[in-house]
């Protein structure tokens, strides 16, 4: 088969066909376009095993597989092929490009340090083959140094960043639909304009016309992902987005209550690019412009999307946050370590701290791979401020368990909660897990869902079972220390210890 000069689009965290930065850029050239995806063994092989045995359970790998399969099915319905591989992209992407006769490879930028290192090696190999590499922005609205202070410095405080971000947005067209080819809605056949520009399956060298590797062949299972009926792939993202649209007006109020369907649940889709951030921002702006009733909710939701860009640019400008505190002086804090800390950490991971709201949040994470934002803040505060355990241990656990795990947002969230980050919660502001619970899960509906062993307690005691009179506990079938743990620490004492722990910073500052 003779090679056809073409443009190869390397899909990564942009697993969709609509409003697609790399595809749009590829379509600007006259050559036909071919799409490819690599199941990256350098990432997959590093994933920890959930339990002993030959198969690694990881919902995220299942999520990616489903999204890739959906793209592949849509392409093949139009006589096209998604080229897929399982291996090291540093070898496979240049190999695909060479086999195809590609003149260039286009991909969306990813600023995580490991991705940057990988991409520079891919670009180097492509260059050695005489193949051009083009990277485009796709994951965020503004990246890297696009939003800077008046003095040309990166922002480290959110509100002025947000104001500058909004100002820049109104002066630019960056949310414009990126693909010139008129992208079809997911689930629909590819539009002729796009289909005509993609390489026909018949034109593909047979070595590249392989089936998508199945999860089991790669040594994975999706855990309970498919049982949970989470909407998957680009069509699933659209479904969730459509469900969220009528709720956006209530977002500001509803988003804080874990028992209420308040947020969009789109984070995993944003993580893997099954939906475009531009599409979401465009919608929030439209609502703000058209509907005064919905605009408060839309404005708050837009702020959350801006937090995402904010933490991405923090990671870009301050890559040290991956292993150290944003503020270097906070690296001197003496976190709680040793056997007791290990036992407490285990209890926290397993949702066995004796604080129902913390346990409910951790159990939601373990059971589903998702945790409500309010609870992420509560459990992170509890680990770092009540148990005095290093935020990095919590960050690692979230990185392992979260479906939407994103290095920049996760690191930003943890350092915010631990008070070690940029624009962080001041260290003396320590969430009280009982009052958080009373405020945000007043009737205990969320707690009852995830901590069934205390479900029969009256609302009054569900937030702090140890305050219930013995008869009430007995009637609810709760035996503290047996059916449900005693609280592992006493909040007020823990608070005092944290203030002491952080006071070292004040002494250091005074000594300067
Ligand atoms: C300790 C901690 C760890 C976190 N780890 C992650 C993570 O690994 N991945 C992740 O996507 N988010 C993380 N967050 C942010 C936030 O909790 C989730 O984005 C949100 O709960 C996802 O649910 P949603 O899609 O329904 O959000 P919505 O409320 O609908 O928000 C819409 C989108 O905005 C973005 N967003 C919302 N809040 C934040 C935020 N504080 N920072 C950055 N982006 C935000 C997300 O992409 C989210 O999908 C973390 C927060 C904390 C406190």
**Residue in the structure block whose two tokens are 């605009």:** 295
- 287 contact partners, CB below 8 Å, separation of at least 6: 248, 249, 294, 295, 297, 298
Taking residues 70-81, what's their average pLDDT? Answer: 96
Percentage of residues in the chain having pLDDT higher than 70: 94
Q: Which of 174-183, 217-226, 503-512 has the lowest mean pLDDT?
A: 174-183
Which atom in ligand 1 lies closest to the alpha carbon of residue 414?
1
Using the predicted structure, report yes or no on whether residue 478 has a pLDDT greater than 90: yes
Residue bearing the CA closest to ligand 1, atom 18: 373
Distance CA 412, CA 307 (A): 9
pLDDT band at 351 (very low <50, low <70, confident <90, very high): very high
Residue 463, ligand 1, Cβ within 6 A? no
What average pLDDT does range 192-205 have in this prediction?
A: 91
**Gap from CA of 331 to ligand 1 centroid (Å):** 25
pLDDT at 433 over 80: yes
Instruction: State the distance from the centre of ligand 1 to the C-alpha of 231, rounded, in angstroms.
Output: 18
- Is residue 180 over pLDDT 70? no
Q: How many helices (H) and strands (E) does the chain have?
A: 22, 7
pLDDT at 304 over 50: yes
**Mean per-residue pLDDT for 482-509?**
91
pLDDT at 182 > cutoff 60:
no
Q: What mean pLDDT comes out for the span 220-236? A: 95
CA separation for the pair 418, 394 (Å, rounded): 10
pLDDT at 192: 80
CB of 283 shorter than 6 A to ligand 1: no
Enumerate the β-bridge partners of residue 135: 107
CA distance 23 to 17: 8
Which residues, at least 6 apart from 477, have a Cβ–Cβ distance to it below 8 Å?
Answer: 453, 456, 483
Whether the pLDDT of residue 54 is over 80: the answer is no
Alpha-carbon span 357 to 439, nearest angstrom: 11
Task: Return phi, psi of residue 273, to 5°.
Answer: 70, 30
Instruction: Please give the pLDDT value at position 190.
Output: 76
Residue with the smallest CA separation from ligand 1 atom 5 is 410
Give how far Cα 208 sits from Cα of 35, 92, 93, 119, Å.
Answer: 11, 11, 12, 22
- Does 52 score more than 80 pLDDT? no
Q: Ligand 1: which of 267, 283, 411 to mutate, judged by most atoms within 8 Å of the beta carbon? A: 267
pLDDT band at 191 (very low <50, low <70, confident <90, very high): confident
Q: Are 213 and 93 in contact (CB under 8 A)?
A: no
The percentage of residues in the chain with a pLDDT greater than 90, rounded to a whole number, is 87
Name the residue among 233, 242, 311 with its Cα closest to residue 269: 233
Evaluate if residue 156 carries a pLDDT over 50.
yes
How far, in whole angstroms, is CA 451 from its chain's centroid? 25
- Ligand 1 center–CA 258 separation, angstroms: 14
CA of residue 267 to ligand 1 center, whole Å: 6
431 C-beta closer than 6 A to ligand 1: no
Residue 94 tokens, joined = 């240049």
Q: Given this model, what pLDDT does residue 213 score?
A: 96
Verify whether ligand 1 is closer than 6 Å to residue 183 (CB atom): no
Give CB contacts under 8 A, 24+ apart, made by 332-336: 332/504, 332/505, 332/508, 333/420, 333/501, 333/502, 333/504, 333/505, 334/501, 334/504, 335/388, 335/389, 335/390, 335/501, 336/387, 336/388, 336/389
CA-closest residue to ligand 1 atom 17: 373
Q: Which of 230, 242, 308 to mutate to test the pocket of ligand 1 (most atoms within 8 A of CB)?
A: 308
Q: How far apart are the CA of 71 and the centre of ligand 1, in A?
A: 26
**Ligand 1 contacts CB of residue 60 (under 6 A):** no
Catalytic residues: 304, 307, 335, 373, 391, 414
Query: Beta strand pairing status for 56-57 and 33-40?
Result: unpaired
Which stretch, 54-63, 172-181, 392-401, has highest mean pLDDT?
A: 392-401
Ligand 1 touching residue 268 (CB < 6 A): no
Asked which of 104-118, 207-221, 290-304 is least confident by mean pLDDT, the reply is: 290-304
Asked whether residue 50 carries a pLDDT value surpassing 60, the answer given is no
Has residue 101 got a pLDDT over 50?
yes
**Global pTM value:** 0.96
The rounded Å distance from CA 494 to ligand 1 centre is 27
The pLDDT confidence band at residue 171, using thresholds 50, 70 and 90, is confident
> Which structure tokens are listed for 106?
């286009």
User: Per residue in 259-282, pLDDT tens?
Assistant: 999 999 999 999 999 999 999 999
Distance CA 322, CA 415 (A): 10
Is the CB of 410 within 6 Å of ligand 1?
A: yes
Let me know: does 437 contact 447? Beta carbons within 8 Å.
yes
Q: Return the H-helix or E-strand segment holding 104.
A: strand 102-108
- Whether 241 has a pLDDT exceeding 50, the answer reads yes
């Amino acid at each position: 088969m003779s090679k056809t000069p073409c443009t190869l689009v390397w899909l990564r965290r942009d697993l969709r066909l609509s409003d697609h930065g790399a595809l749009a850029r590829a379509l600007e050239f006259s050559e036909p376009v071919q799409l490819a995806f690599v199941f990256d063994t350098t990432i997959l092989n590093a994933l920890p095993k959930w339990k002993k045995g030959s198969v690694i359970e990881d919902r995220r790998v299942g999520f990616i597989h489903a999204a890739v399969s959906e793209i592949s099915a849509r392409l093949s319905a139009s006589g096209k092929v998604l080229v897929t591989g399982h291996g090291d992209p540093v070898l496979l992407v240049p190999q695909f490009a060479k086999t195809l006769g590609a003149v260039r490879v286009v991909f969306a930028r990813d600023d995580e340090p490991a991705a940057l290192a990988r991409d520079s090696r891919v670009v180097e190999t492509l260059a050695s083959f005489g193949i051009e590499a083009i990277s485009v922005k796709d994951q965020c609205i503004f990246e890297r140094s696009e939003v800077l202070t008046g003095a040309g410095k990166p922002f480290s405080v959110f509100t002025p960043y947000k104001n500058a971000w909004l100002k820049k947005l109104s002066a630019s067209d960056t949310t414009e639909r990126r693909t010139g080819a008129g992208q079809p809605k997911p689930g629909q056949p590819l539009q002729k304009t796009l289909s005509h520009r993609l390489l026909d399956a018949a034109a593909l060298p047979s070595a590249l016309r392989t089936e998508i590797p199945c999860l089991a062949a790669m040594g994975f299972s999706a855990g309970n992902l498919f049982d949970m009926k989470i909407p998957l792939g680009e069509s699933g993202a659209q479904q969730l987005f459509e469900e969220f649209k009528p709720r956006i007006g209530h977002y500001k109020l509803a988003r804080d209550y874990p028992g209420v369907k308040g947020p969009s649940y789109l984070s995993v889709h944003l993580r893997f690019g099954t939906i475009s951030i531009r599409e979401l921002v465009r919608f929030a702006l439209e609502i703000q412009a058209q509907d005064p009733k919905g605009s408060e909710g839309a404005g708050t939701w837009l702020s959350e999307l801006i937090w995402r860009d904010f933490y991405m640019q923090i990671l870009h400008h301050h890559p040290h946050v991956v292993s150290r505190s944003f503020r270097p002086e906070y690296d001197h804090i003496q976190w709680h370590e040793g056997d007791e800390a290990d036992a407490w950490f285990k209890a926290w991971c397993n949702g066995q701290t004796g604080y129902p709201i913390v346990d409910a949040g951790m159990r939601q994470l373990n059971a589903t791979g998702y945790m409500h934002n309010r609870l992420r803040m509560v459990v992170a505060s509890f680990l770092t401020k009540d148990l005095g355990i290093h935020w990095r241990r919590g960050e690692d656990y979230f990185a392992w368990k979260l479906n939407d795990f994103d290095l920049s947002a996760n690191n930003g969230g943890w350092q915010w909660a631990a008070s070690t980050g940029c624009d962080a919660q001041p260290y003396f502001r320590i969430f009280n897990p009982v009052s958080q619970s009373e405020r945000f899960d007043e009737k205990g509906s969320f707690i009852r869902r995830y901590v069934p062993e205390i479900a029969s307690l009256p609302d009054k005691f569900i937030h702090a079972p140890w305050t219930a009179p013995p008869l009430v506990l007995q009637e609810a079938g709760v035996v503290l220390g047996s059916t449900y743990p005693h609280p592992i620490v006493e909040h007020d004492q823990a608070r005092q210890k944290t203030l002491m722990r952080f006071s070292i910073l004040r002494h250091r500052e005074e000594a300067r």
